[in-house]
Structure 1
Amino acid sequence: MSSPRVLVVDDEADLRELLDITLVRMGLDVACAATLGEARALFAAAPFALVLTDMRLPDGLGLELVREVAASGKGTPIAVITAYGSADNAVVALKAGAFDYVSKPVVLDDLRLMVRSALKLAAPAPASARGAGPAAGAAGGSNGSRLIGDSPAMQALRGQIGRLARSMAPIAISGESGSGKELAAREIHDQSARAAQPFIAVNCGAIPEALMEAEFFGYRKGAFTGAADERDGFFQAANGGTLMLDEVADLPLAMQVKLLRAIQERRVRKIGATAEESVDVRIISATHKDLAACVEQGAFRQDLFYRLNVIELTLPPLRERLVDLAVLTDAILRRLAGSASPARLGAGVLDTLRAYAFPGNVRELENVLERALAFADDGVIETGDLSLKAARVAPPDGQVAAPIPVTAVTPVTPITPVAPAASAELPANLPANLPDHLAQVERELIVRALAQTQFNRTKAAELLGISFRQLRYSMQKLDIQEP
């Protein structure tokens, strides 16, 4: 059997040679290209198990190659090499379809780890391993997926998860409470090259703020009162696998800063330690809140949002896929029954469930059925066993739900508008759109400062009197690209 072929694209001869030697020692067949044109010709002429490209090439950008390889339909994973501190470039590459990235100066251990993950991904999975997992076979028509249902929405969701599992890019899962965000995260992990490694799910809203750093990064013995032994954190526990940050919007701002650094640098420092240690984890975040709105309100850092929201996956609520109720109910009742015979639904029960709005989604359906089982006679659940009397029921199609009665209303004193003072009249030459005008002024000042410093962003930031980080975010926001 021939060795997997890897295409290395880099215009630096020394780095190209180092990558060539490293990959050959791993038992791989390596082809090298110094330009984008050479890489395109080689990729078109022969199949490759992996493409590794620099972001800056003499005749173009590696990002162009990323898009072309991702769109080729060959399923070839492509990874990028980014300059030190260019985390923004890595995010852009991941959004374009890159499998993963390594930073310059290249750490060979990190490179080997990434290559092994990519080649494991490129190899076809044995037939016996496909669909395996703790919940395999639980759903009729769902091919062993944890995400049960045959509706078009669920079929599209499972197809999207299959594609996302091929990448190492961070994923942000959004959806209402009870819609199955953790199940989707586990499904992504199980279909990825990291399936044999740990999956660690963390509820960010359930950890006291004072303990967060210790829980995430671990601590050394004697680092603080009560630290009797050294302990690993969530990042170390998930090393090589997947770390799911559930309800990530509940993280306090101070912890968001530390989490951002850990994700960008892929290194963490235990409390009480002097040295950082490298970690290899794929981040999947989830929340029922609108993270973009949290950023606008100042409750969530924009830079962390940018790092976590590389790929977005949205889960449909149960009320939008009520055609799945029958298969969902059957799977839940079988799970609740264990080895015994599952309970059955009496006449009209399924219609009653379909008329309900399910604000708590699948989790609420599970609770309703579990409660109904306690009242059911002879293993048959009747409509009265559902206890849905006090719950809001979805109105029939085409009808408007009846308003909820209000027992008492506190009168509100009307506010009399205050007329503006005569001296506060606005000048006639104001711009039509103030935000756009301010953005244009900011853009012109930044471009002038960058031109004056030959695009040295550190000096340009000093010239503008802002931090390097502020300048980088402004450039990103205003789409200012280095020539």
Structure 2
Amino acid sequence: MAETRSALVVDDERDIRELLVMTLGRMGLRCDTASSVGDARAQLARNSYDLCLTDMRLPDGSGMEIVAEISQKHPNTPVAMITAFGNVEAAVEALKAGAFDFVAKPVDLTVLRDLVRHALDLGETQRNDTSAVAARLYGESPAMAELRGTIAKVSRSQAPVYIAGESGVGKELVARTIHAEGGRANGPFVPVNCGAIPAELMESEFFGHKKGSFTGAHVDKPGLFQAADGGTLFLDEVAELPLPMQVKLLRAIQEKSIRAVGANTEVNVDVRILSATHKDLSQLVADGRFRQDLYYRINVIELRVPPLRERLDDLPGLSARILERLATHQGRAIPTLCDDALEALRAYPFPGNVRELENILERALALAEGECLNAQDLRLPQPTPATGSGTAGAGPAGVDPRTLDPRDTATSGLPSYIEEIERAAIQHALQENRYNKTRTAAALGITFRALRYKLKKLGID
């Protein structure tokens, strides 16, 4: 027979304690209660618990003291804070101090049950083990070891996490790892590129719409929040959200409820928010292009993913893993990197980070003749003494024409050589802009119509 799971309920109001005990009891938990910080400490010293719920204001202190004590002495016990309705600042502080989640008074029992379920799922699976994290995020460098350790900690919380990092460092992989290692692993992981949704459709995409709410709304459609219910919503490129949508998103996060376009009532949603961008979000706040209140709400915990140039010691092992995956997929022998290739990679700044490394190795694998890839096979852009930042001599997407072998012109002629330069520039820009054609055209400095023509002419799918 399975051991009964237990919870500690800390609140100085008897009716709140009784409500919580009754609700948790119906979920199969044995409950102990405390009415003060002192009582709670005494209970924690005598017993171990699968969950703790504590009020913020207590007669002899603050619930924050209980959060701190549990985080330090009982790190495997999730603790959730009960706060006054609308006191978002207190809830955010509790999350930063190590609280698993928070629930506002008057307590919504549906929200409470969801919270308890995720907390218990987390405890049962013992996801504080960092071995699974290491399997997803390779690297022996100090920067990666620190990143994995932080991920292991934040995975045990429900706090919103803001993932900062340059393009191509693996921000979505970090988000997926946080989801997979947390109490929501059995729920959906829903990624969304905020820059790829037209502004006029954004509210409908996020919150859904009712049939007939606007022209073309022929059926009821759930939104991204409903799709992520019980799991995680990953807002990639969150800096691209227009200001009106930022207001609506802030309210949905704070109230944990949404209203579909054309609906008369709100519905509760149980979603953890993870967000990311390669831009400097704090600078956008200073410039008035991103709401400060939303910034603080999604940035309860900030997690920086290091660029590849800060972990060059990981290059040999990371490259070997990538080559093994690519070669296995193609059903061919797994190649190695020659010493001069590794030396060239170490000297290269990698503006596109891990994603660019994968592209470089995939291209080298396709074009190289031997089983040991040398520096020439990599065809890395070569810097020149030109003014300005970025890759000297590169086109609008940062592609250096010299990555294409000039000897090719001997057989294919100048027009074909120029086409290859165009193709490389367009493919690079598409990758950098996540295959969003509107943004790709803007990055290349051409019209959308011109890009569409080039894609068709060059046979790029």
Q: Give the TM-score normalised by structure 2.
A: 0.80
Please tell me whether the aligned partners of residues 232 and 272 of structure 2 are also in contact (alpha carbons under 8 angstroms): yes
Give 1:317's aligned residue.
Answer: 307
Match of 1:153 among 119, 143, 146: 143
Residues of 1 paired with 2:127 and 2:263: CA distance?
43
Please list the CA deviations of residues 391-411 of structure 1 after superposition, one character each: whole Å capped at 9, or x if unmatched.
Answer: 44xxxxxxxxx852589xxxx
Please list the CA deviations of residues 385-428 of structure 1 after superposition, one character each: whole Å capped at 9, or x if unmatched.
Answer: 2111x344xxxxxxxxx852589xxxxxxxxxxxxxxxxxxxxx
Is the aligned partner of 1:66 residue 2:67? yes
Please list the CA deviations of residues 107-153 of structure 1 after superposition, one character each: whole Å capped at 9, or x if unmatched.
Answer: 112111111111121224499x9966xxxxxxxxx8422x1211111
Please tell me whether the aligned partners of residues 130 and 148 of structure 2 are also in contact (alpha carbons under 8 angstroms): no
The one-letter amino acid paired with 2:209 is: Y
- Residues 22-421 of structure 1 correspond to what in structure 2 (within 5 A)? 22-125=23-126, 143-145=134-136, 147-337=137-327, 338=329, 339-388=331-380, 390-392=381-383, 403-405=385-387
Please tell me whether the aligned partners of residues 52 and 79 of structure 2 are also in contact (alpha carbons under 8 angstroms): yes
Residues of 1 paired with 2:106 and 2:387: CA distance?
66
- Gap change, CA 1:254 and 1:391, over 3 Å in 2: farther
Residues of 1 paired with 2:201 and 2:80: CA distance?
36
1:233 Cα deviation from its structure 2 partner:
0.9
- Gap change, CA 1:74 and 1:302, over 3 Å in 2: closer
Residues of 2 paired with 1:2 and 1:323: CA distance?
47
Residues of 1 paired with 2:337 and 2:27: CA distance?
58
Please list the CA deviations of residues 199-243 of structure 1 after superposition, one character each: whole Å capped at 9, or x if unmatched.
Answer: 111111111111111111111111111111111111111111111
- Gap change, CA 1:276 and 1:176, over 3 Å in 2: same
Residues of 2 paired with 1:117 and 1:150: CA distance?
31
**Aligned partner of residue 329 in structure 1, secondary structure:** helix
**Aligned partner of residue 348 in structure 1, secondary structure:** helix
Residues of 2 paired with 1:253 and 1:242: CA distance?
23
1:73 Cα deviation from its structure 2 partner:
4.2
The one-letter amino acid paired with 1:109 is: T
The one-letter amino acid paired with 1:333 is: L
1:346 Cα deviation from its structure 2 partner:
3.0
- Gap change, CA 1:346 and 1:44, over 3 Å in 2: same
- Gap change, CA 1:314 and 1:126, over 3 Å in 2: closer
Residues of 1 paired with 2:105 and 2:339: CA distance?
66
**Aligned partner of residue 373 in structure 1, secondary structure:** helix
1:306 Cα deviation from its structure 2 partner:
0.8
Larger Rg: 1
Please list the CA deviations of residues 454-475 of structure 1 after superposition, one character each: whole Å capped at 9, or x if unmatched.
Answer: xxxxxxxxxxxxxxxxxxxxxx
336-345 or 178-187: which moved more? 336-345
Residues of 1 paired with 2:196 and 2:345: CA distance?
32
1:374 Cα deviation from its structure 2 partner:
2.2
The one-letter amino acid paired with 1:163 is: K
Residues of 2 paired with 1:51 and 1:95: CA distance?
17
Residues of 2 paired with 1:88 and 1:347: CA distance?
54
**Aligned partner of residue 363 in structure 2, secondary structure:** helix
The one-letter amino acid paired with 1:200 is: V
Please list the CA deviations of residues 243-292 of structure 1 after superposition, one character each: whole Å capped at 9, or x if unmatched.
Answer: 11111111110000000000000101111111111111110010111111
1:373 Cα deviation from its structure 2 partner:
1.8
Identity value in percent:
56
Please tell me whether the aligned partners of residues 134 and 148 of structure 2 are also in contact (alpha carbons under 8 angstroms): no
Give 2:417's aligned residue.
Answer: none
* Alignment size in residue pairs: 386
Q: Give the TM-score normalised by structure 1.
A: 0.77
- Gap change, CA 1:126 and 1:55, over 3 Å in 2: closer
